[in-house]
Amino acid sequence: MPVDVGLATTSNQLITGGLVAYSLAFVGYAVRAAFGVRVPDADAAPTPARVLVGATSPAGSATAGAPTSVALSAGAPPSGSAEGTVLDGDAARARRGREAVGPRDPATRFGEVVGKVAVVLTVIGWVAHGAAIATRGLAVHRLPWGNMYEFTLALTFAAVAAFLGVLARHRRQSLGLLGVFVMIPVLLALGLAILVLYVAPAPLVPALHSYWLGIHVTAAIIATGVFTVATASTVMFLVADHYAAAVSRGRSVRFAAIARMMPDPGVLDRVAYRAYALAFPIWTFAVVAGAIWAQYAWGHYWQWDPKETWSFITWVIYAGYLHARATAGWRGRKAAYIALLGFATVLFNFFVVNIFITGMHSYAGV
Q: Domain check: are 85 and 139 in the same one?
A: no
User: Domain for residue 100, yes or no?
Assistant: no
Q: In what order do the strands lie in the sheet with 85-87?
A: 68-70, 50-53, 85-87
> Per-residue pLDDT tens for 151-208?
999 999 999 999 999 999 887 667 778 999 999 999 999 999 999 999 999 888 877 7
pLDDT of residue 40: 44
Mean pLDDT value across residues 21-48: 70
User: Domain for residue 361, yes or no?
Assistant: no
pLDDT of residue 79: 36
Domain of residue 63 covers 50-93
Report CA 295 to chain centroid distance, whole Å.
Answer: 33
User: Domain for residue 247, yes or no?
Assistant: yes
Q: Does position 227 have pLDDT exceeding 70, yes or no?
A: yes
User: Domain for residue 364, yes or no?
Assistant: no
Q: Domain check: are 210 and 156 in the same one?
A: yes
Q: Domain check: are 145 and 56 in the same one?
A: no
Q: Domain check: are 185 and 68 in the same one?
A: no
Q: Domain check: are 200 and 311 in the same one?
A: yes
The last residue of a domain, from among 93, 124, 158: 93
Q: Domain check: are 315 and 283 in the same one?
A: yes
Q: How far apart are CA 345 and CA 310, in angstroms?
A: 7
Q: Domain check: are 225 and 78 in the same one?
A: no
Q: Domain check: are 86 and 206 in the same one?
A: no
Q: Domain check: are 175 and 55 in the same one?
A: no
Q: Domain check: are 336 and 260 in the same one?
A: yes
User: Domain for residue 366, yes or no?
Assistant: no
Number of domains in the chain: 2
pLDDT of residue 88: 46
Mean pLDDT value across residues 256-273: 85
> Per-residue pLDDT tens for 1-10?
789 999 999 9
User: Domain for residue 161, yes or no?
Assistant: yes
Q: Domain check: are 165 and 131 in the same one?
A: yes
User: Domain for residue 99, yes or no?
Assistant: no
Q: Does position 344 have pLDDT exceeding 60, yes or no?
A: yes
User: The whole model's pTM is what?
Assistant: 0.80
Q: How far apart are CA 55 and CA 37, in angstroms?
A: 27
> Per-residue pLDDT tens for 108-129?
788 889 989 999 999 999 999 9
The last residue of a domain, from among 30, 59, 93: 93
Q: Which of 247-261, 284-298, 325-339 has the highest mean pLDDT?
A: 284-298
Q: How many helices (H) and strands (E) does the chain have?
A: 12, 3
User: Domain for residue 109, yes or no?
Assistant: yes
pLDDT of residue 1: 78
Q: Does position 353 have pLDDT exceeding 50, yes or no?
A: yes
Report whether 147 contacts 199 (CB < 8 A): yes
Q: Domain check: are 75 and 111 in the same one?
A: no
